[in-house]
Amino acid sequence: MNRIVVVSNRVQAPQEGTVQAGGLAVALDGVMAKRGGLWFGWSGQIADSASRTVHTTQVGSIRYATIDLTREEHDRYYNDFSNGTLWPLLHSMPDSMAFDRRAAQVYRDVNQRMTEALLPLLRPTDLIWVHDYHLTAMPAMLRARGVTAPIGFFLHIPFPAPDLLCSVPQASALIRDLLGADLIGLQTPNDVENFVAAAQRLTGATRLPGSSEVQFAGRRIRVSAFPVEIDAAEFAAAAEAAWRSPATERLRRSLTGQALILGIDRLDPTKGLPQRLTGYRRLLETRSDYRRRVTFLQIAAESRKEVSAYRELREALNFEAGAINSEWGEPDWTPLRIVARGGARNTVAGYMREARVGLVTPLRDGMNLVAKEYVAAQDPQDPGVLVLSRFAGASHQLPAALLVNPHDPDDIADALDRALSMSLAERQGRWLECWRTLENATPAAWGRAFLSALTRADIAAPLAETRERLFIPRPAPEQGMRLI
């Protein structure tokens, strides 16, 4: 049985007898525990200088192996290029993207250093699964070093249309790097079509008739959708228990009979939070009968505080929240509550079950598991209504939600009005349709499906390491440019 090798940006080994938090850990823990596995990536530690030292620890049948990064590597590879260039680019937000050739080169250098550190740990019969936008160069780098084991790559965030992808210099080389994999997994069929179109247009890859497979450099690469899942039954049980908890009871008492609209997100420009507040403002402006009858609670946990765009977003939200509350609030009614920190998972599950409306309106999202969690948290006899951005990957699986354009405040206001006034029968019908999509899916089943497909993938021939095939930004002395 093949050993599984997982490669991700960040790795944190759990203590013996504990389970890691996080979707990827939940998805792969059971699979790797049975078959044995290696999990490799960055330790989360900053070192004074680059080192070849690999830190390893064994927990059960899983071996965790990590390397440290230098401060410059972290700043340029992680902050500047991964999160400053690739994150907004892949979310179809090129106006928020900054490109600097020096950061692009460090990104590639870190991918190369990780590849070199991983190579001695590999076995010929391994199944190698590389995760996410931090490590797009690794599939081709592994092939260039002679690795013939099956390589899978999964992108957890969206993939843009080819025209948008071209906003980053040398985009075609980035695609070539990914085509070093045997299997490329994306969240939705739309992402698959975007990637295949980009591969055809930017690299000359050929799409095989009647499939999403492409042929490139004499190899066949399968490109497929593998939507990430939650354990809906487990989350439903947690929500039902948490609904009776003191924390949810305190929230319920504070509402004094008002209907709760709930949003839960990381504080991130892709989540559409300013647009969401504008939509809520439009509801209060145009439907005066909702004043004093609803309360909107937005939980927006801060993240990436070192990135200026995130700090600016926090300031903008604070300003708009203050404006809404000062304009529409009453001495005994605050229409909008914002909490800029996360909460315990079970506590949030209880809030979801209490909420009459789950408002999930990202500008673009690979999947958005909050939408699925909101559905799972509901009381089947008296469910709330999910208002969901049509640009979230989850909308492909949850068409019974009220789908909105997050850029249109009137569309959001109309959906909120419909959700708040919806009959019990319609709420039950829409919830049941969503639930049937989720009830038998689990993160572990998602992981098994990808690994099963990878096992069947054709074993690739090594690629030559050339500057034309690999994403190798050429260093330049000039200052990096900002692309709009």
- Residues identified as active-site: 156, 365
CA 129/CA 344 separation, integer angstroms = 30
CA 197/CA 194 separation, integer angstroms = 5
CA 397/CA 420 separation, integer angstroms = 23
Measured CA distances, 41 to 64, 112, 202, 239 (Å): 9, 12, 29, 33
And the tokens for 224? 């497929």
Q: State the DSSP string of 372-405.
A: HHHHHHS-TTS--EEEEETTBGGGGT-TTSEEE-
Q: Identify residue 297 by its one-letter amino acid code.
A: L
And the tokens for 68? 């440290």
Tell me how many degrees the CA angle 260-266-270 measures, rounded to the nearest 5: 105
CA 415/CA 385 separation, integer angstroms = 10
CA 261/CA 276 separation, integer angstroms = 12
Coil/strand/helix, residue 17: coil
Give Cβ neighbours of residue 393 (< 8 Å, ≥ 6 apart): 158, 187, 188, 191, 227, 365, 366, 367, 368
Q: CB of 283 within 8 A of CB of 291?
A: no
CA 313/CA 320 separation, integer angstroms = 11
| H helix intervals, 119-161 | 138-144
Report, in angstroms and rounded to the nearest whole number, the Rg of the chain calculated over CA atoms.
23
Q: Identify residue 379 by its one-letter amino acid code.
A: D
143-154: burial string, b at 16+ Cβ within 10 Å, e else: bbbebebbbbbb
CA 313/CA 267 separation, integer angstroms = 8
Q: CB of 104 within 8 A of CB of 111?
A: no
- Beta strands per DSSP E along 324-377: 336-339, 357-360
Calculate the CA dihedral of residues 172, 393, 31, 448 and round it to 10 degrees.
-80
